[in-house]
Amino acid sequence: MIKADVTEFRLFSQLDGTIIAPTDSKPWGKGILQWLEFTKLKGITVQGKGIIDGRGSGWWLEAPYEDPYDDERKLIIPLNNTVQERPPMPALRFYGSFNVTVTGITIQNSPQCHLKFDNCIGVVVHDMSVSSPGDSPNTDGIHLQNSKDVLIHGTTLA
């Protein structure tokens, strides 16, 4: 997993190539919840013409929900008194961040959902593409959890 955890930082990430996931989750062990993660950032932009390829089919065969998760779910204050039994495994996740922009990129074949915003405020997603084959176990394109002030436009979900 690639992880950034910084506060009070303005970050522009330009993605014009292809980031390809490993063929399985063994390098990280059990309980992986995301592949690429940005945590507690203020003013992050991920942009470009590049591709994030999650190689989901290899992950789907592993039945990841048979493994225990870490205790992250205990930290979430659920909306409407609901808690997800099987939280989505995003390829790209933003957690606890403010003023997040994602534009231009393509995310494909994610292990579960493709793009997740969790406990974020001020999110803009535009002019990007998300796709998975119809036989994937979960084709959530963009998953919003405990986030507000979100604007999504000009985005293709397939």
Whole-prediction pTM: 0.75
pLDDT at 67 exceeding the cut of 50? no
Q: How many angstroms separate the CA atoms of 54 and 114, rounded?
A: 8
Q: Which amino acid is at 66?
A: E
Q: Tell which phi-psi region holds residue 124, choosing left (phi > 0), alpha (psi between -120 and 50) or beta.
A: beta
Q: With the CA atoms of 63, 66, 70 and 71 taken in that order, what torsion angle do they form, in degrees rounded to the nearest 10?
A: 130
Helix (H) or strand (E) holding 92, with range, is strand 92-95
Structure tokens at 152: 């999504």
Instruction: Please list the residues that pair with 23 across neighbouring strands.
Output: none
What pLDDT is stored for residue 2 in this prediction? Answer: 54
Q: What percentage of residues in the chain have a pLDDT greater than 90?
A: 41
More confident residue, 11 or 124: 124
Domains of the chain: 11-22+35-59+87-157 (2.160.20.10)
H-helix segments, the chain: 56-60
Q: List, for residues 8-47, the tens digit of each pLDDT value.
A: 556 778 899 999 887 766 665 555 556 788 899 999 999 9
Q: Tell which phi-psi region holds residue 127, choosing left (phi > 0), alpha (psi between -120 and 50) or beta.
A: left
| Residue that has been written with the tokens 């957690």 in this structure | 95
